[in-house]
A = this chain, B = another copy of it.
């Protein structure tokens, strides 16, 4: 176990913390580019409260609204243009993962020479961003964990490729995480967010290096918490206690702490990105389809790992040395949980057929591949493997 870790984001967590936004942002700038999504923050009073808090603290506001789900490179360029012309010195992201990711990419694009797509993983002439405007995130959805990490996922609409960038300069300076903002999230989006956060930790759990037992326990803790509180948040969106636990779990699931030292690639995410680059499906819904299918594929080569999962999460008893049955049962239970909260677990349920399976697999490998051209993970996967996994999820 060898690693370095630094997460410099100042986390302000708790119901009502939106009221502190202005005070927090004021430490980093005088004029904010306020990045928002499709309009839900305007339908309730979240947008107005954010602007009021900023203005009360003496922070001027320029707007960049209309960030679409699976945010596009052209949107990133548009936002960076507004920030430049308006003279913004801080970026505030008020929305879900798409808004936060786009805002981070905008903040870096301002200082990036050349095409910002060159930041992204999978590019031949990749060059990481080294500088960005300070970013403050205000998540309105418990899902991506983008509020407290240095990653961003962007889609290039010209090539229909979805890729990601992770860089030190992309860590938000502060995250104002107010579970009250998630009270109006509908049940389906709530469930997709729960699947997203759970997948963040299953990926590192199943794809990380050996010998990280404490990180295993952390990941299991996130899963237990999501399974205990997630259904309550889905069935009663106004349950602030459940909303707070789910949102806290989503922050933890991808701020680097659970993954520390695991060096895990994220094959399920890579495959899903290829789906949501072609189809406007919610990322969390796509993960709910791909993850159980991937687990069944991966359990063939490492049943003992999946048996540990089955034992610690579902209390099943592996029959060593053949752990295969417990492993399979654990995956079934995991999939059943996703279905129980309303997630799709088949491609047909999200309107995806078999026509483009090879294309998704090829696109996945364009973004992420090892020296042998395979998708990194445990096990690594060929194009045919990816197709097989997707076919099993039809």
Given contacts A214-B222, A221-B220, A252-B214, contact A4 B8 (CB under 8 A): no
Fill in one digit per residue for A92-105: 1 if any B CB lies within 8 Å of its CB, else 0: 00000000000000
Q: Which of B4, B12, B211 contacts A4 (CB 8 A)?
A: B12
Binds B, one of A56-64, A240-248, A343-351, A363-371: A240-248
Contact residues of A between 1 and 35, Cβ < 8 Å to B: 1-17
Instruction: Type the 1/0 row for A250-274, where 1 means its CB is closer than 8 Å to any CB of B.
Output: 0010000100010000000000000
- Proximity string of chain A (204-226) to chain B, C-beta cutoff 8 Å, 1 when within and 0 when not: 00000001011011101110110
| Oligomer: number of copies | 2
Is the beta-carbon distance between A14 and B3 smaller than 8 angstroms?
A: yes
Q: Which residues of B contact A16 (CB under 8 A)?
A: 2
Shortest distance between the CB of A150 and any CB in chain B (Å): 14
Whole-angstrom distance between the alpha carbons of A224 and B216 in the complex?
A: 11
Cβ A13 vs Cβ B261 within 8 A: yes
How far apart are the CA atoms of A7 and B256 in the complex, in Å? 13
Using a Cβ–Cβ cut-off of 8 Å, how many residues does chain A contribute to the interface with B?
38
CB distance from A95 to the nearest CB of B (A): 22
CB proximity of A387 to chain B, nearest CB, Å: 37
Specify which of B7, B218, B245 is in contact with A7 (CB 8 Å cutoff). Answer: B7
CA distance in complex: A221, B205 (Å):
14
Q: Any chain B CB within 8 A of the CB of A249?
A: yes
- Could you say which residues of chain B place their CB within 8 Å of the CB of A17? 2
Min C-beta distance of A11 to chain B, whole Å:
4
Q: Does A297 sit at the interface, judged by CB under 8 A?
A: no
A216 to B225, CA, bound (A): 10
- Whole-angstrom distance between the Cβ of A254 and the nearest chain B Cβ: 14
- Is the pair B225, A217 in contact by a Cβ cutoff of 8 Å? yes
Q: Does A229 contact B (CB under 8 A)?
A: yes
A228 within 8 A of B: yes
Distance in angstroms from A379 CB to nearest chain B CB is: 24
Q: Are A6 and B1 in contact (CB under 8 A)?
A: no
In chain A, positions 179-219 with a C-beta closer than 8 Å to chain B are 211, 213-214, 216-218
What separation, in Å, do the CA atoms of A216 and B252 have in the docked complex?
14
Contact partner, A213, options B5, B9, B213, B228, Cβ 8 Å: B228
Q: Is the CB of A244 within 8 A of B15?
A: no
Known contacts A1-B248, A211-B241, A220-B221; is A8 also within 8 Å of B8 by CB?
yes
* Contact A4 B9, beta carbon cutoff 8 Å: no
Complex contacts, A7 vs chain B, CB 8 Å = 7
Q: Is the CB of B13 within 8 A of A2?
A: yes
* Cβ B3 vs Cβ A6 within 8 A: no
Interface residues of A (CB under 8 A from B): 1-17, 211, 213-214, 216-218, 220-222, 224-225, 228-229, 241, 244-245, 248-249, 252, 257, 261
| Known contacts A217-B221, A218-B221, then 9 further A-B pairs from the complex at CB < 8 Å, ordered by chain A residue | A1-B244, A3-B14, A7-B7, A8-B8, A211-B241, A213-B228, A214-B221, A214-B249, A217-B225
Of the A-B pairs whose beta carbons lie under 8 Å apart in the complex, a sample of 6, sorted by A's number, is: A1-B248, A2-B13, A7-B7, A13-B261, A214-B221, A217-B221
Closest 4 CB pairs of A and B: A217-B221, A2-B14, A6-B10, A5-B11
